[in-house]
Amino acid sequence: MNQVRIAIAGASGRMGRMLIEATLKADDAVLVAAFERPESTFIGKDAGDLVGSSCGVTITSDVAEGLAKADCLIDFTRPEGTLQHLALARAAGCGMVIGTTGFSAEGKAEIAAAARDIPVVFAPNMAVGVNAVFKLLDVAARILNEDYDVEIIEAHHRLKVDAPSGTALRMGEVVAGALGRDLESCAIYGREGVTGERDGQTIGFATVRGGDIVGDHTVLFAGIGERIEITHKSGSRMPYASGSLRAARFLAAHKAGLFDMQDVLGLK
């Protein structure tokens, strides 16, 4: 069996550790490199020690050298880090799975440009369940159409730095697309003061941050006399890591191109 050679950026982060654990457990993937910033206290440590089982891969900040050994870089860091890694992956001809959220339009354009040369899976949520929900939302929005007000509510842990979550924004894009609207012009990000009555064409977002909530998302379709709520709740980060490995295996069959988890799961 050909094992996919995996490099992981942000190795000591919440997702980095989960990805190390998932990779070390997988039969068809092998961890070949793990990256942190030069100033990180984890540089020089064994990546496996982060999850309680040494594996002989030393955490380094030399991304270019590490990528020379890898088929795929899995990156869950911050937009600025991901874009630096993307340039190095492009130079090395290494595929990339990008889970980082919070990109500007320019950042997304850089990812699309790099994907002309290398294969990239870029998705705000790698969990199979969430990707099933994206499909359910498309169906629900088409059936309910214009008669229901759409509100998207998300909750995450206190350490999350971007809002709304990438997943909530994608949910908004799916619903807006199904209703023939443009999310950029119909989104309302929070309300305060005398807001006036609700405009039926808008899609509202509400963000909750607290404690160790892994990630909850609800899309509420509020009509007259009834409400439909479609909810996904994450109890662990492992589904994000397993989905990322699935994406890495998918990329092994592609030379270049920009994909998301709907492509990986065959849902398009």
Ligand X SMILES: NC(=O)C1=CN([C@@H]2O[C@H](COP(=O)(O)OP(=O)(O)OC[C@H]3O[C@@H](n4cnc5c(N)ncnc54)[C@H](OP(=O)(O)O)[C@@H]3O)[C@@H](O)[C@H]2O)C=CC1
167 marked ligand binding residue: yes
Backbone dihedral angles phi then psi of residue 198, each to the nearest 5 degrees = -70, 130
Active site residue 45: no
- Run of H or E residues at 230: strand 227-234
223 marked ligand binding residue: no
Tell me if 44 sits within 8 A of 23, measured CB to CB.
no
Angle between helix 105-114 and helix 79-92 axes, rounded to 10 deg: 10
Tell me if 58 sits within 8 A of 46, measured CB to CB.
yes
Q: Binder to ligand LZUJQKHR among 165, 172, 187, 239 (CB under 6 A)?
A: 165
48 vs 124 by CB, closer to ligand LZUJQKHR: 124
37 vs 157 by CB, closer to ligand LZUJQKHR: 157
CB of 13 to ligand X, least distance (A): 2
State the Cα–Cα distance between residues 76 and 93, nearest whole angstrom.
19
Q: Of ligand LZUJQKHR, ligand X, none, which one does residue 86 interact with (CB within 5 to 8 Å by kind)?
A: none
CB of 148 to ligand LZUJQKHR, least distance (A): 23
State the Cα–Cα distance between residues 22 and 14, nearest whole angstrom.
13
Residue in the structure block whose two tokens are 């190390």: 20
**Footprint on residues 59-98 left by ligand LZUJQKHR (CB under 6 A):** none
Site membership for ligand LZUJQKHR, residue 166 (CB under 6 A): yes
- Per-residue string for binding with ligand LZUJQKHR, 210-229, x by CB under 6 A? -----x--------------
**Footprint on residues 116-135 left by ligand LZUJQKHR (CB under 6 A):** 124-125
Tell me if 83 sits within 8 A of 110, measured CB to CB.
yes
Assign 110 to helix, strand or coil: helix
End-to-end CA gap in the chain:
28
State the Cα–Cα distance between residues 252 and 231, nearest whole angstrom.
33
Contact set with ligand X (CB under 6 A): 10, 12-16, 36-37, 40, 76-78, 80-81, 99-102, 123-126, 166, 240
Site membership for ligand LZUJQKHR, residue 243 (CB under 6 A): no
Site membership for ligand LZUJQKHR, residue 16 (CB under 6 A): no
Active site residue 85: no
CB of 171 to ligand LZUJQKHR, least distance (A): 9
The CA radius of gyration of the chain, in Å to the nearest whole number, is 19
- Catalytic sites, residue numbers: 156, 160
